[in-house]
Amino acid sequence: MAPGGLMVDFAGALRDAIQARGLGLERIQERLRAEGYSVSLATLSYWQTGRSRPERRESLAALAELEKILEVEPGSLAALVGPPRPRGRHLHKSTENQELGAFWSERDLIVDLAQGIDTRWDARLTRLSQHDRVNVGPDRGEISFLVRQVLRAEADGPDRWVAIIRLDVPGNPLPRLEPVRNCRLGRVVEHPESGLLLAELLFDRPLAKGETVITEHALHNYPPFPLATQYERKFRLPVREYVVEVCFDPAALPRAVFQFQQMDGQDEQVTSMEVDVGHTVHAIALDYGPGRYGLRWDWE
């Protein structure tokens, strides 16, 4: 309790403790790292400003060590964190606890990077339809991707979509993200070392409950284009209809193409596909997810 009987929230208590201890965030991060806890400077900053709070098991464990570093009563900060934030009651129980980084090998890194963008509406947008089109050039490189989606708001207020992109081969330049239809670019968080890019695609206006929006955005790689061997989408939340389409240059057709999918908790399923006369191949999933779905192909 603060003077006058006012309740102190977690962010305020953390700010007071940091100020009283006289340590900078970089020094705190170093002390945490020395004890085996990896917490970014951005995360520490968001905790003390109230933009986010520790909820994951790893974050709560780091918080216990943070209490030692700040020399406050054990459990005093943790007691102010409160229960986990709701993920959307309209969702099926099996999807409520899926983190933003679900089905990614870089799960913790994605959750950490997502602290720099607004993800609060993600679980309040039903994925009615998503269509990904991949363009592969004559040198077998990934030239561009076009993403079209139809979303429905399950509450008043959603005003953005969060896109997560990862290069198959980290180290190449991250693609240029271009809003095409009914959206504009918001905050972008890049992590070139892992090939990750997270971005906000802002709608023209906030949606009312039950309202739908159709958006399109494109991703353009820089030459020399990275070798294209697969395209995969990860679904943290289910989608009514998903279409993935790969367009090959007539001068470079793959030897074999396979559709693969892996629902949450199940083994991967693989099906052989054929390139059509238009030099494209596509696959469709209905009422799919959570899980991963995509196409992969062999050149030789």
Predicted TM-score (pTM) of the model is: 0.68
- pLDDT band at 87; cut points 50, 70, 90: very low
d(Cα 254, Cα 277) in Å, to the nearest integer? 13
Q: Which span out of 52-66, 102-116, 118-132 was modeled with the highest average pLDDT?
A: 118-132
d(Cα 55, Cα 81) in Å, to the nearest integer? 8
Mean pLDDT in the chain?
Answer: 87
The answer to whether the CB of 126 falls within 8 A of the CB of 88 is no
Tell which wins on pLDDT, 282 or 75.
282
At residue 83, the pLDDT reads: 54
Q: Locate 220 and state its tokens.
A: 């353009």
For the cut 50, the answer to whether the pLDDT of residue 95 exceeds it is: no
Distance (Å) of CA 9 to CA 86, 130, 181 = 18, 40, 41
For the cut 70, the answer to whether the pLDDT of residue 2 exceeds it is: no
At residue 94, the pLDDT reads: 39
For the cut 90, the answer to whether the pLDDT of residue 232 exceeds it is: yes
At residue 201, the pLDDT reads: 96
- pLDDT band at 96; cut points 50, 70, 90: very low
Residue 204 backbone phi and psi in degrees, to 5: -65, -30
At residue 84, the pLDDT reads: 53
d(Cα 159, Cα 136) in Å, to the nearest integer? 32
For the cut 50, the answer to whether the pLDDT of residue 155 exceeds it is: yes
For the cut 80, the answer to whether the pLDDT of residue 147 exceeds it is: yes
At residue 252, the pLDDT reads: 95
DSSP assignment of 53-81 equals: ---SHHHHHHHHHHHHHTT--TTTTGGGT
At residue 7, the pLDDT reads: 39
> Which amino acid does the sequence have at 245?
E
